[in-house]
Chain A
Amino acid sequence: MTHRVDHLIVGAGHNGLACAIELARRGRSVLVLEAADRVGGAAVTREFASGFKVSAAAHLLHGLSEQRVRDLDLEKHGLRFSARRMATVALNESGPPVVFSNGAVRGVSSQDAAEFARFSRRMSRFARLLARVNDTLPFRVSFASWRDRIDALKLALRIRTLGRSDMRQLLRIAAMNAYDLVSDSFDSNLMKGTLGFDATLGAEHGARAPGTVLTLLHRWAGQVDSGALGIAQPAGGMGALTQAMARAAESAGARIRTGARVQRILVQGDRAAGVVLDSGETVEAGSVISNADPKTTFLDLLSREHLDTDFVRRVSRFRSKGLVAKLHLALDGLPGFNGVEATALGSRLLVSPCLDYLELAFNPSKYREVPARPALEITVPTVNDPGLAPAGRHVMSIHVMFVPYDLGADPVGARARLLNNVLETLERYSPGLSKRIIDSELLTPADLEREFRISGGHWHHGALALDQFFITRPVPGATRYATPLPGLYLCGAGCHPGGGVMAVAGRNAALKVIAGGA
């Protein structure tokens, strides 16, 4: 059976759906094909233990802008938030925590608090600049057209108009490591640990690696961009967001098919002309837009003879191994944390007591080992959204930092050690927690790769690092959503501006598809 559509989107992740909405609204016929049985990609809600539901990969919105929610009409399509502007609580093993909320910090010396206000204002100015960069089409470093030069000059001008002092500071810190920047600024270990955590969450290095200030800024930019949403939790989990997006796409006229795995991209006359499904079915399309990660798109879905060696070489070296594992716990009651009031349990809770702790947690990953004392981002989504678990019971959703994709010769043993280490760490901050666990699920990067079909299991499809950022993301030759193969586009987190559930890459890609050109 053969159909024909204007645009075929491979993968119904949030970016694929955002792209579908934008295209369908402009009257194009759009078909979204999703391999899984539900839409959402890595932004889904699913059951992990009988009666317990959780956002299986991403569990918080860090940078979805209010503007985007309005643009995509998501509230009309059923999106609600169970929490907005969530505070970040830096857990303290023995003592009061440090709390970051609404741009201020509590629980530190007045000197640190004042310095944080200054630091935060400056970072926000840089982040605003970055947020605007996120929304733009990256210029080509080859300066293939005058437009590229003008765009580069515009960026230079934006940096210049920050003013002399800010410009100097930005250029000084942009490629610097977060460890030094944060250590220079603050005294409080918990505070430094938290900023270091945010600089390395989803990155591929510890806080001492050059470029980690950039990842911190990237996160900050998401926050600035998110407006009143801040760090937010959709009611019904992340799946509710993508469900709303799917409804928005369908009401705009796009068609979505789940359980339809694309086997390969069809090429005719040096142009992407459609796809062939696992079932053997062929769908022809004017253009194919891939929400799959760059490696899957170019190395798996496309036959290699359609791409040049240079490009394949760059794609195969795109660093895409995830470094974060996900742990889901089903609990028989509400857990407590040392020094944290019950009202704050719905916050984002971090175990990253100091920068050295973070660095020590990172080190083993270099040798395919799991951390002895892992750094954690913990949420108890059922505090804000009780419907995710049976009455009176709770779900804990944890990002475990620095878990390598390759777990060495004994992956089974490594998993067991990891689970044990996480639970031991949790026990220090939440005594008695272990006894409340009814069931658990651990997803290492390799598991995330399998479940969400992301090569390497990296939620950003590839590390956000200075050399895989903006004008070089994912790789030269595909930085502007168009790819070397005419008619084939990328729209996922592997593109500028990268991951985090922001739906920016999908929107940018749609605009590029409409504009055409290289």
Chain B
Amino acid sequence: MLADVPPRPPVRPHYQRPLINTPFFERSRLLIETDSYVPWSGYSTPDVYSSVEQEYFAIRNAASLFDLTPMIKYRIAGPDAERYLNRLVTRDVSRLKVDCVAYTVWCNEFGHLIDDGTVFRFGTDEFRLCTAERQLDWLLDSAIGFDVLVEEVTEQIAALALQGPTSCAVLKALGLAGVETLKVFQLRQFRFANQPLMVSRTGFTGDLGYELWIAPEGALALWDGLMAAGATRGIRAIGYRAVEMARIEAGFILPNVDFISAAHTIRLNRETTPFEMGLDWVVALDKGHFNGRRALLEEKARGSRRRLLGIEIAGNKPAHNALVYDRHKGLRQVGEVRSALWSPTCKRNIALAMIEAPYFETLRQFWVDIYLHRELMWERRMERAWPVDRPFFAPQRRKATPALDR
């Protein structure tokens, strides 16, 4: 009998308690002033410690420490691991070198986005896939016919994002010699407090920064070590909302904000393709077949239905969820804003807006209908907007190697 549906692992005990704490909870609970924890993939994580602005400026001006543990992590290993991943994701994994990381997306058969994430390569046959959402079912069904092991390892790894201009200096002070030579999207194995510590030069802020991966037993020691090493370098624990600001400046997209996973859409045409997200650069159409390739080729030939554009908007009022029109009078809706921010660093009113065809190509100016809720009263502003390049903020220090380490 041929391959049956692969067996599923036993159910994780999440259902017994609605949310669990990360290994860093013992530290975050001492620092958090607002008690504003938010749910994230079954974990409870800080939204804001004290003030979003202070936390945001720690990312841009010093060093910030963000608990990344709830990010979903899968171990993918075995002789077919590379073939498996190459069929799963849109990028060419065969070109990903050992000890390197790649950002990628993956699609279903219609070329509709399921999720985005990062692939870490530890060896010829050993990978980690970090995703926004749990999708073991999809990953296991993708494994039918491949000699590959797919297992969720989220709980087995505690992770921290250390981001900001002084982050490299903090790591050096922690004792990670040579970390400044790590290039963007590279990873390296270190030892800390007699434990393996993996450091990757990756992040979600668009700044100089690192992500640190350690077994849960070493979590608190790592946190304490970083806080001590960063004490004179402006380190600050930050919550989710500060990261959200930084990621918009960096022009990164967020699932369920900038696009909806095809696994969740109910209504027709709510799905999104990589081309629509402006992610042409992660789609390796020439690498052979992968999930969604035939549909994406068709889209390439036919043209996309819409496209995510970085736009700048006049004024200083963030255009949250605003509708986008072609004229000031609001005659024809041509799109909507997905993510919006008054950028404190750029001093620009920026947004990611999904614009319908053909307007994403034909229009050089839009009008954005901004609603402001001020002391219980709605006010409305029609502001001029225009397309700009992404990322909105790209400091030279992000990619400079050796990294800024003072």
Contacts and interface: CB of A to CB of B under 8 A. Distances in A.
Given A299-B144, A304-B144, A305-B83, A311 B1 contact: no
Interface stretch (B287-295, B352-360, B373-381): B287-295
A455 interface: yes
B288 A305 contact: yes
A279 interface: no
Considering the complex of A and B, which 10 residue pairs feature the smallest CB-CB distances, nearest first? A304-B145, A308-B109, A309-B142, A310-B109, A313-B141, A305-B87, A308-B291, A299-B2, A455-B2, A295-B2
A311 B289 contact: no
Given A270-B293, A305-B86, A309-B87, 13 more contacts: A299-B2, A306-B289, A307-B289, A308-B294, A309-B88, A309-B108, A309-B138, A310-B109, A312-B141, A312-B142, A316-B3, A316-B4, A484-B294
B301 interface: no
B164 to A, nearest CB: 39
A477 B2 CA distance: 20
Contacts of A278: none
A296 interface: yes
Nearest to A406: B1
B190 interface: no
What's the dominant secondary structure at chain A's contact region?
helix
A164 interface: no
Interface of A: 270, 295-296, 299-300, 303-313, 316-317, 405, 449, 455-456, 477, 484
Contacts of B138: 309
Contacts of B5: 316-317
A66 to B, nearest CB: 37
A484 B294 CA distance: 9
18 contacts: A270-B289, A270-B293, A299-B2, A299-B3, A305-B87, A308-B109, A309-B109, A309-B138, A309-B291, A310-B108, A312-B141, A312-B142, A316-B3, A316-B4, A316-B5, A449-B1, A455-B1, A484-B294
Interface string B164-207: 00000000000000000000000000000000000000000000
Chain B interface secondary structure, helix, strand, loop or mixed? Answer: loop
Nearest to A293: B2
A455 B141 CA distance: 19
Contacts of B1: 405, 449, 455-456
Contacts, number: 61
B144 A316 contact: yes
Contact of B109 (A317, A449, A477): A477
Given A299-B144, A299-B145, A308 B108 contact: yes
Interface string B64-97: 0000000000000000000100111000000000
Contacts of A317: 5
A477 B108 CA distance: 13
Interface in B110-137: none
A94 to B, nearest CB: 42
B146 interface: yes
A362 B108 CA distance: 39
A484 B109 contact: yes
A312 B2 contact: no
Contact of B144 (A270, A296, A312): A312
Given A312-B145, A313-B144, A316-B144, A305 B289 contact: yes
A456 B4 CA distance: 11
A219 to B, nearest CB: 27
Nearest to A476: B109
Contacts of A484: 109, 294
B289 A300 contact: no
A309 B2 contact: no
Contact of A270 (B86, B108, B292, B294): B294
B290 to A, nearest CB: 8
Interface in B1-38: 1-5
Contacts of B289: 270, 305-307
A452 to B, nearest CB: 14
A309 B83 CA distance: 13
Interface centre among B86, B108, B144 (most CB of A within 10 A): B144
A449 B1 CA distance: 8
Contacts of B83: 305
Contact of B141 (A296, A305, A316, A456): A316
Contacts of A312: 141-142, 144-145
Contacts of A316: 3-5, 141, 144
